[in-house]
Structure 1
Amino acid sequence: MSLYCLPLIRGRLPGLRPSEQKVARFIMGNPEDVVNMSSVELGSAAGVSESTVIKCSQRLGFEGFVQLKLALARDLAVAPTTAFGEVEQGDAPDIVIQKIFNANSAALSDTSKVLDPEQLGEAAALVSQARSVSLFGMGASGIVALDAKQKLIRIGVLAECELDPHLQLTRVSLLGPTDVVVGISYSGETIDTLEVLRLAKEVGARTICITNHPGSSAAQRSDVVLVASAAESSLRGGALASRIAQLSVVDCLFVLVAISRYEDAMTCLVKTKRAVAARKGGS
């Protein structure tokens, strides 16, 4: 289990019961206060019983509330002290810069803590050995899927990306056991991405998902789950921090695939770089 409290809570929040979500949200909103609270005090502050606090701690993977507080204290020991939190209407440009960059930095740091190296290695092995790799995502996650495609094709991986839901299902229906499908969804509950993963299972393709929520429906429908961690607010609803986190997961996957097929990857990189060099101008 991850020793990092806040990224873990953020990822598992949707899978908690409503009363437990009250506890989790209070912890995320008031971490400095919670480390000095008893389970009774936290329950009172969150509007739930002490037993709910303990059950919430256990459902998050801790033995109890004391262990959760210890992990939370470790998080706070390395937390940034500059401007943070949601961007607000009256924020000046310098504060917006601090908040956005700190949010993105936190997303990268949190993702490095929750991304499972074994799952990442398994995903890289699947992609490296696949006949083809099909990448899917909707909205901002679709942009990440396109980025993954352009990286993989440069090292000789037969990668495709469809953003239209009908074309996604059409493509997946023609796949088989030697193909890999990658679904990208922040929530893990995007209907179109879930349909792609469902159909991929039906045709026997191997499935990978990149999501913020390891207990989500997308994670349950995937052979390999790569977890990113980023919080989004109302003014960052365009998936700013989560997109940065997802892109970094893609970067890790790409590098591991390139390493696993190093000679071929380097040859392909030279060829693809040469193919577009004349169109870039300059020397």
Structure 2
Amino acid sequence: MEVFLKRLSQHRDKLSQLEKQVMEYILENPERIAHSNLKDLSRELFVSTATISRTCKQLGYDGFQDLKYTLSKYMTREREEEMTTSPNGLSSHIHRVKKELELTLQQIDEKQMMKAAQYIKESNYVEFFGVGASLPVCVDAARKLTFSGKICNAREDWDELRSVANSMGENDLAILVSYSGETLHILEFSNILKERKVKTIALVGRKNSRLKEEVDLTFHAYITSCYDGELDMSSRFPLAVLLDFIILTYLNKL
């Protein structure tokens, strides 16, 4: 939940004073927002429903219902994560990691792997898009693909990634990596890439995500949320494994 609210606050600078008031109320009262309707919220804040809807769009959502739906999902995940927070003993972590790998491997579709490899083969250029904890996974994959002879890159700066997305074309390939599939920056980049008709592959850690709806091809890694206090210890290695298999399939095609 804290990560979700921090992402909302990142949009503060582009909001009007009235929109900032709406956002602050959302940040301070997420539980209330999840159980409110637009008209009740409008009366409570003394602003129009149009102002609330406009604020939600400025925060990266289609409207109030879209933001409310995403917020509810995060709250559900938080309750689930509380059940898996700080499990006792190393053996429980070993079991978790083993289960993640086994279930990720079980879900691999060889035809999908071949299709992804074909996308790489046919592209002039490959860019990896990942932020936060997903970035190292992208950097590692880009290094391997570069050594294979493919022109590619993985960048850290969000503004640079946005610029790259706006410069890519139909003969390029974008590979987007996101544990939640709901990261606002990644969704922004995917929308730009879609408008520019760039081929896209997504690797996500959750089956139901908005990112899945925005790309041409999706791979799902099985990842279990794991927190120690507020420290996110959730693994990203299942995403790295999937990328390794895609690159190996591409090399075999060569």
| TM-score of the two chains, using structure 2 as the length reference | 0.65
How far residue 238 of structure 1 moved from its aligned partner, in angstroms, is 3.1
Distance 1:133 1:87 in 2: 38
Indicate the residue corresponding to 1:112 in structure 2: 105
Q: 1:213 aligns with which of 197, 201, 206?
A: 206
How many residue pairs match? The answer is: 179
Unpaired runs of at least 5, structure 2: 1-68
Distance 1:176 1:126 in 2: 13
Indicate the residue corresponding to 1:79 in structure 2: none
Q: Does 1:246 align with 2:248?
A: no
Indicate the residue corresponding to 1:167 in structure 2: 160
Distance 2:226 2:129 in 1: 24
Q: How does 1:1-283 map to 2 (within 5 A)?
A: 86-88=85-87, 91=88, 95-96=89-90, 98-235=91-228, 238-241=232-235, 243-261=236-254
What fraction of aligned residue pairs are identical, expressed as a percent? 21
Distance 2:233 2:215 in 1: 22
How far residue 244 of structure 1 moved from its aligned partner, in angstroms, is 1.2
Name the amino acid aligned to 1:123.
A
CA contact (8 A) 1:87 1:99 kept: no
Distance 1:106 1:211 in 2: 17
Cα deviation code 1:114-143 (max 9, x no counterpart)? 233222221111012210000011111111
Q: Secondary structure in 2 aligned to 1:146?
A: helix
Unpaired runs of at least 5, structure 1: 1-13, 30-84, 262-283
Name the amino acid aligned to 2:146.
I
Distance 2:207 2:172 in 1: 23
Higher Rg: 1
Q: Secondary structure in 2 aligned to 1:157?
A: coil
> Do the aligned partners of residues 161 and 153 (structure 1) sit closer, same or farther apart at CA in structure 2, a change above 3 Å counting?
same
Distance 2:215 2:118 in 1: 15
Distance 2:198 2:222 in 1: 27
Instruction: Give the alignment's Cα RMSD to 1 decimal.
Output: 2.4
Distance 2:228 2:174 in 1: 32
Distance 1:240 1:233 in 2: 5
How far residue 172 of structure 1 moved from its aligned partner, in angstroms, is 1.2
Distance 1:206 1:239 in 2: 32
CA contact (8 A) 2:223 2:234 kept: no
Distance 1:160 1:239 in 2: 27
| TM-score of the two chains, using structure 1 as the length reference | 0.58
Q: Secondary structure in 1 aligned to 2:141?
A: helix
CA contact (8 A) 1:175 1:205 kept: yes
Q: Secondary structure in 1 aligned to 2:96?
A: helix
Indicate the residue corresponding to 1:62 in structure 2: none
> Do the aligned partners of residues 249 and 187 (structure 1) sit closer, same or farther apart at CA in structure 2, a change above 3 Å counting?
same
Distance 1:116 1:214 in 2: 15
CA contact (8 A) 1:104 1:244 kept: no
Identify which range, 244-253 or 115-124, moves more after superposition: 115-124
